[in-house]
Structures are given as structure tokens and as C-alpha cells.
Amino acid sequence: MSSNFIPGCIFIIYLLIALPCFILTQKCHHKPLQITPNNRIHVDRTKTQSRILSQDKRMKFHIEYHSSVMERPQAREIQSVVAEVVDRVSRTLSVKQEPGNFLFETNCEKPREAVTLNGQEYCTVDACYYSICGEITAPKTLSEPCFDCNNRGENCTKTGGPPTDREPVHYTLFVASLTASCKQNYIAYAYACRIDDTTDRPVAGVINICPIGFELGRERLLDTVQHEIFHALGFSSSMYGLYRDAKGKPLTPREANGLPALNPKTFVFVWSDQVIQNFTLDWENINGTTERSIQAFVTPNVLREARAHFGCPSLMGVELEDGGGYATAMSHFEKRILATESMNGMLTPARVFSRITLALMEDTGWYIPDYEMADIMNWGKDLGCDFVQKSCKNWIDTRINGGLSPAPWCTNDHEAGCHAEGTDVAFCKLSKYDSPVPEIFQVFTAIDGIEPAELSNIGGNLLTDYCPFFEVDRYYWPNQSTTALLCNNTEIIDDCRKSNCTNGGVCRDVINGYYCNCPAGYAGALCDHVNVECTVNSNCQVNEVCTANRCLCGRDRIRNANDECIGVTDVKEYTIRITVTEVNGVPAVYHRSLMRASGDSFRHGIEYEVRQIIRSNPILHDALVNVVTRSISSGNIVVDLALIFQKSSFHNSSTITMASVVAATAMQDNVLRRSGTAYTVMASATVVQDANECEDGAGNDCSPYAQCMNTVGSYECTCQPGTTDTGPTGVLPGRECTDVNECSTTLDTDCSIDADCVNMVGSYTCRCRDGYGDDSLDANRPGRVCSKQALPAIPSLPGPSALPGLQPGVIISLSVGLGVVLLLAVLLYMIIWKTVERRKRSLPYKDPYNSRSPNHLPRHHTHTFVKSVKTVDREVGSNPYPKRDKPRQHRNLDEPRLHRNHDEPRPHRNHDEPRLHRNHDEPRPHRNHDELRPHRNHDEPRLHRNHDGPRQHRNHDEPRLHCNHDEPRPHRNHDELRSHRNHDEPRPHRNHDKPRQHRNHDEPRPHRNHDEPRPNRQHDEPRPLPGALYGDLNSSWYYGENRGHMDSPFMSTGSDIYEAI
């Protein structure tokens, strides 16, 4: 609760600090309202709040008209003006926050007398007190409810409060017409009174229109209201310290209360050098050159737009107004460099809201502007850095000395000329001041009719730093010589100031007129045509095509005065290819999104530049129908645009030709910047050619059954053969083609009576029926001659015969002959197969698991693994080696094998006794994996490999004597077998470089006598299969991998398990 003296304090602070923006002799004295922590307010939003949101958050206003406005006879006109301006601002600015609602505070007049009932505080003496926004008391519908009782604390009630259907908004704007602060010649003023507690964005403010404002014409009042709204939205010295960057981070440091420090002299927030900086300029005047200090905006978007507009890449900042006193200075652009911009310090006729103003709104960190809503500004356009950063005296002297006009400045009083932004007649105004003009701003050293002593008192407007220029003043009488002056400079007329675009269409000014960019669903010169929904072209009117379920004019042609699409016979279409290398000095890089919605700004800018080029041509300017981007490709950025013209000019009989289009579009400059964006192009690479409407992908209105033929400037459609043109009267040929069904009557075809007619688009074909052969002479025209066949005919598809010219008898003979040959081939194959199988059975047995030896199992592993019982069951069940009842004679072991001398058993292969080193009950000492195997000790000779004693050639500490490569190693004699079976070297009979003598297959092997059975092959027991185990351990089968060195099984100790290894 506030104290009873708070209202008085707030009103006193407002009278001292609240700064009305008023217009005194066309000068805006803007004094912002002081913002304190009490002005911060929480806004309730239905959605999660984000600092950066999508660009479609168009600004939503709630307008509250004060009774001081509604009581005036001009109330309806004021409401209309405010509604139009608010609508324009809403379409220009998007807010980086969701809309929401807040309530102004409601307190008791005498809070000490309040009582608390059920936790709610009620006022008992006097009534509730409602908060104020500047001078305006907030209405009950925008305030907290009032809880009030009588003086005795009885009859307590709740009154006021917001309506339940209140819609969320971004800004609450109060419009009033109070006279207390309106001094003489004040037109209007504005300020913000509440800011968001999270982003510091203004959420409520006031526009007060003084009585003199009601006397203005509608056009000038529109400009005034828009000027004041921009002040209330953030273009104010009280707001600069609250600006944020694009990510929502404050640009100026904050104190403990969440706000920047307050300047004790100006009562506004201090700002950082990320917003405004001080610069020093070299300033030329009548006494030489001196230094001048200025303050300028240095925010990124303002710099970008200003550099592009003035054509000054090195521009350090956009200068702020320093004249006009405290109420005008620092809250407007410097009028000298932006004399016609609406946000300079003087409100004059013929003003524009340029891209620079929208850029500053973006640099607040609160808004996203639509730059296409900006007006075209001609003041200072492409005049360079000298115009912006040097004095007007330097500009005037330099231009006059070079034989050029000093425009936009002037030197002769009463000289008539055209205003920079339109057709208004303007006059050079020199004023004589009571006191000398500051020396730094003195321009003239001599003027006809002026005494030299008085020259120091002569100058132009104070806010232009006393530089004289052509000003529009409808009360200023020109001299006699201006009566014949006609301002018809069509390049500077802003026709959009009086445009009639409807349904949200955006007006774009061009030379000799304007055009409207229509939103989706609308078309026409003024966006007044609603596109009809459709599914096919037949749902649309003449010259319309169904595109994206909407009836649109074909190939982007426009509608005439009768709301009908211009036909193809009324226009000529050409294409122009432009190569863009830079955009605002930044290298142009192609991206496929340029042809999507995100690339609208780029495409519209290029289209605007081409329109301006064509509109400046006296022959083509009134024949242009449309300019539209057809495609964008890489190679910097290559843009292909369609140029659509009427076939002849409206105001002369000249016929539009490609030669005239080429001449009109020849670029003299490689920088296009009339759209407000500087496009650097390769002028020499610009190409104009005829548009190929049949192949350029933009579509045409030819029927799918018609042939499109390109012509110079146009195209023609012709129905294909086999189709008929069924278009109604008045429709061009080839637009509606219907297929003719030749098969509907036999009179229209030449098919055989034994053939079926099959209709095709534009033609037909014939197909002989089943049981008939096609005897047609022309393979491209089947089904014309069909004859019955003795054998069933194979149905054939349309096309040439597989065997043209052969008689049926020949075909049958060939078929029988091929059958006989095939049968003989099968018999021959079976004979060969039987022979091969018989040969295989006569060959020696070869172990499939060991390709190196016919009867030795693998030797290269010593470990044994056991699989599961189920796996063994499955594998044994599929054993490919069944038990044999009779002994195999080829396993006769009566004769020793030559290479396996059985007379002298190998000591380490004694089969009579189990191998000690393979004792499975105890771990094998040489298989201890935790420790090195003793027989594998490479530092000492291997004991188990010592046949006669230690092998000296295995001593690894010293070089091996037998490894002398200069001389052959005696123990590596391959001519004799090595008796000690040195496994480190290959065995002589395992030499794979030479064929093994005992493997000679040309002669039978003597040791493989098959006549006598081999005694060591007991066939009463199953042969141990490779990789199998046999035993009676719980009647289960076990399986192990082939790991052994022998071809016979061994019995392990401790179990009845036999393993084949």
C-alpha cells in the first residue's frame, strides 16, 4: 500500500521530469518520463516466455481513448488516424515476446484506515486510488479490483477489475487530449510509463494531442501520430540505457535494482558505448577547419543501413541531434544528415519513415522490423562520406567549384526547387538571426544584397546546423520566377503515400507509380481480388491456372481493370539474368533458401531494382506488367527474372521488342541501391533473352495432350494428333485437348478382324487374339494381319516380331531339332558324371579335415575343447561317415609306409604307453599358462627336444652356427631325411615346393595294398571320427576339436573317454 502523499509526489515528479514531445514551430521538444523501479511491471503470458521468438509475432495494441478525446467533435477522426497508424506499426514491427496482460496497481486513499477481512485488505475511509500512467489515471478495466467498505467497515464490496474476455497484447496505448501541458504551438507529445520486468521493453505509454493538432490535415496528423508512437516504443533518451543485444543481453551494465545508473543531471539512464559513442569531426567554416564533437548511434543495424544509404562504408555512426535544447537533443536523428526522415527533430511536410528508423527499433533488442514497410528516402542517397561527415560549407564549395549543383543545399534566398521526397515545390530559405550564428556553423562569405557585416547573422535552419536547404512551406510565397516551375521528377515521387493497396498489401513505390505486394490468397493491382479455390484448371476462369489449390493468373501475369487475367496473346515475356556479387558490401553467397519464404526480402529487392531500371525508360515504363524471379542459382548469386510486358506501349504505338528491352536494361552502374539495399552486380554479365515458356519450369496453360511451341516473346499450343481441341469459344487453341478413342468404331481403325483394338493417348494399337499369329509386314504396326495357327500362339506385346519372315513349319522344325539336341546333352552329362564318380571312389582316401596328409589328422593344435551334450547329439546324428560292416582294404597296414618307419618307433610317439606329458588327471607341466613352459624356454635349449643331448644350434644367447647364410647349413640337407624330426624346420616329405614322391597318383602306392586288410583297424568298434568322442560317461556324447599329433586314439586316465585327435 502506498502512503496518502504518493499521488502528489508522483504528479510533482511528472511536472518536473515528464517530458512532452511537442511541436513548436515544427520543432519536436521530446522530454521522456523518468523511469524508476516502480515503473517496472510484471506481464502475465499464457505461453513460456522467450527472449527470442519467431518473426510472426506482429505487435498487438490495446488502445484506450481518454474522455478528453471522446468529448471533442473530431473524436471520430482522431480514432481513425490512430487506428491507421497502429495498423501500420503492427505490420511493421514484430515483438520478441508473446503478448500478455498486466494490471495497474490499485491502492487505498488512506491505507492506515484499511481493514483486513479474510486475508483481503479493504479500504474504509474514502475510496480506492487507481494508478496513473503519466497524466492519465488507469481505468478500472485495466486495474486491479477495488475492495471497499463504508467508514464503519461494513457493506464491503469488490468493484472493477479486468473483463474475463480480455485478449493479451504487447502494448497498452492511452490517447488523450489534455491541455495542461500543451504550451503555445504544441501539437502532440508522447512517453512510456511502464516497462516489462524481464526485458525492460515499454508495455504502456501515452500520446497526448494538443488542441492545435486537431487543426492539422489528415496526412500531416498521420505522420505526427506515428512519430510519437515511435518515441513511446523506445526511440527516447530515457530508453537508450535499457537497450539489449539480439540475444537479450543488456548493452549497459545494471545496478542492484536491475536498472542502469541514473544520470543525476538529466534524470535519464546512462548508456554504454555499445549504444552511443563520441566522435570528433574535422569541420570547415569561414575561418578554416576546426574540430567538432558529436554523439552518434553505433548499434549494428543502424550502421548497416546508414552505410548502405549514404554509400559510405567507413561511416562511424549515425549522428544524434545536438540542437534545439534539451527537449529536442539526443532524442532525434541529426536533421543535417536526415532532413526528411520522420524521426529528426523537426516535423515538416513530406517526411518519410526510412529503414534507418526501423534499424534502430531492431537494435533495441525488443523488436524485429519488416524493412519492406519502410519508405524510400532520397535525402543524402549515395552522396558519400563527405556529405555525412563534413560541413555543408565544404559540400557547397566543393560542388560549386566543380561546376555542379550544391543540392540538396542551396545558396540563394527564395530560390524555388523541388523537394527531395516528392513533387512539392520547395524554396531555399535563408534566415537572419538577431545574433551571430556560431562561428563553426557560418557558411557564407558573400551574398548579393547583404552587407558583409550582416553575413554572420545569416544561415539556414538551426537544426540543420544552419545549413540552408529547399524546404516545403505552404505559407511561403515564392518569387515570380517559380510560377512556371513544375516538379515532375518522377524518381523522387513517393506514390505510396496515396496508395490504395487493400487486404494487407504492401505498397512499393517505383518510378511513374507504385505496385502492391499482395499476401497469400489475394491478387490484383490493389490486392482486392480473392483467389478462388480449385483442384483442376477447369475450376478457374479464362487465363487462370490452378496452382496450389488457388486460381492464379498464368505465369504471374496480372489482372486488368475488369478483374480478368491478362492473356498470353496480350503480353510478351523475356528473361534477364543478373549476377549479384555483394549485398551491402558483403560477398553474396548462394543458398537454396533464397527461393523460399525466408528469401522474400532478397528477391523483392532485386525485382524492385529491375522495375526501377525499366520504369525509367520512356518506351517501356508504361508497358511493364510484372517482374518476377523465376530461379536463383549458384555462382555468387545468379538470378533469372521474367520481364512481362504489354505487346505495345499505352501512350505510344511503339511495339515492344527484345532489342528495346536489351537497350533499356543495359546497366550503367554496377551497384543497384534504389531499394535501400546495395546490390553489387556484374553489369557485363547481364543477359536478356527470350523466355522459353515451354521449358523454363514456370509452367504454361497448354493442355497435357498439346504440344507447346516457343515463339519470340510468347508461345503457342497445338493439340497432338489423335486428340481434338474441345476448348470453348474464346479460349486459345491447345488449352483443352481431349483424346479421341479410335477403337470406339471399327471404321476408324485398320486392325485385323481377328485382332483387338487398344486405345492409346493420341493413337491406338492392334493386338492379335489368342490362337492367332501376327503376320503383319510392318513390325511398327502390329495386329493388321492375323492368321490362325495350328499350335497355340504365344501372346505377344505390341512391337516387332521376334523372328520376322520365318514360316510356321520352319519354326516347328527348329523347335524339334533344339529339343533333340537338348536331350542328347543331358544324356552326355549323366554319362560323364557317372564316370567321374566312379573315378573318385577308386582314389586313395583323403581326410577331409587335413588336406596335407591322406591318413594323418591335423597336427597344428594341442588344446582340446568340449562342446555341450546337445551340440554333440546334433552333430553325431548328422555324421557323414557311417559305420562300415566290412573292412576297408585300402587301409592295409601289413606293409609299412615308407615315410613312416615303424621298425624304429619314435620315442616321443610311443603308443604302447600313454604319453606322460598328456596326463589329463594332472596338469601338464609344460602347459602351465601362468608360467612359462619349461620346454619353451628360449634362453636355454628345450629339454624335450633334445634327442642326443642339448642342441647347440638352439642356443639363443649366442648366434646359431647352423644359421650361417653364407654357407649352406649341413643339418638342412634336404636330400636326406632328418631322423630327429626337427619341427622348427619343415620335414623333408612336407616340402611343398616339390611334389611329394609318395603322393604320386599316376602309380599306385605300394604301401597302400588294398588286397589285404589292415590288422590295426578293428572294425567291430566304430571308427573314431575326426573331432568326435566316444564313451560311457553318463551315456552322453562329448565333442572336441582336432588338436592331436597322432592318427590313433589314446585313453585318458581317470575316465572311459576316447578322443580322436
The catalytic residue positions are 228
- Beta-sheet strand order (sheet of 1029-1031): 1029-1031, 1057-1059, 1050-1051
The C-alpha cell at 216 is 492539422
Angle at 424 (CA atoms; ends 421, 429), nearest 5 degrees: 90
Instruction: Decide the pairing of beta strands 188-196 and 202-209.
Output: antiparallel
Tell me the angle at which helices 355-363 and 218-233 cross, rounded to the nearest 10 degrees: 20
Residue whose C-alpha cell reads 510533482 in the numeric block:
12
Cis preceding-peptide flag for 408 (omega within 30 of 0)? yes
Hey, which bits of 153-201 come out as E strands? 157-159, 171-176, 188-196
The C-alpha cell at 367 is 523488436
Collapsing DSSP states into helix, strand and coil, what is residue 806?
coil
271 vs 980: CA distance, rounded Å: 100
Cβ neighbours of residue 927 under 8 Å, at least 6 residues apart?
862, 933
φ/ψ of 280, rounded to 5, equals -120, 125
Question: Do 791 and 777 touch, CB atoms closer than 8 A?
Answer: no
**Distance set, CA 362 to CA 50, 202, 344, 991, 1054 (Å):** 17, 14, 18, 89, 93
225 vs 302: CA distance, rounded Å: 23
The C-alpha cell at 464 is 540543420
The C-alpha cell at 570 is 496480350
With the C-alpha atoms ordered 894, 899, 904, 909, is the resulting torsion angle positive or negative? negative
Cβ neighbours of residue 1051 under 8 Å, at least 6 residues apart?
914, 1057, 1058
Rounded to a whole number of angstroms, the distance between the first and last alpha carbons of the chain is 101
With the C-alpha atoms ordered 46, 48, 49, 51, is the resulting torsion angle positive or negative? negative
Tell me the angle at which helices 300-310 and 355-363 cross, rounded to the nearest 10 degrees: 160
Let me know how long the chain is: 1061
Cβ neighbours of residue 798 under 8 Å, at least 6 residues apart?
758, 765, 766, 767, 782, 783
> For the range 795-799, what are the long-range contacts, defined as Cβ-Cβ under 8 Å and sequence gap of 24 or more?
795/767, 795/770, 796/767, 796/768, 797/767, 798/758, 798/765, 798/766, 798/767
Question: Do 271 and 241 touch, CB atoms closer than 8 A?
Answer: yes
439 vs 456: CA distance, rounded Å: 8
With the C-alpha atoms ordered 345, 349, 350, 353, is the resulting torsion angle positive or negative? positive
Q: Would the annotation count 332 as a binding residue?
A: yes
> For the range 123-126, what are the long-range contacts, defined as Cβ-Cβ under 8 Å and sequence gap of 24 or more?
123/147, 123/148, 123/149, 124/148, 124/149, 124/150, 124/151, 124/152, 124/153, 125/151
Residue in 466, 443, 493 with CA at minimum distance from that of residue 334: 466
The C-alpha cell at 283 is 569541420
Q: Which amino acid is at 463?
A: L
Residue whose C-alpha cell reads 481518454 in the numeric block:
66
Residue in 563, 672, 671 with CA at minimum distance from that of residue 627: 672
Q: Would the annotation count 231 as a binding residue?
A: yes
Any bridge partners for residue 191, and if so which? 206
442 vs 59: CA distance, rounded Å: 45
1013 vs 931: CA distance, rounded Å: 47
User: Which residues participate in the annotated binding site for Zn(2+)?
Assistant: 227, 231, 332
Residue ranges of the annotated binding site are 227, 231, 332
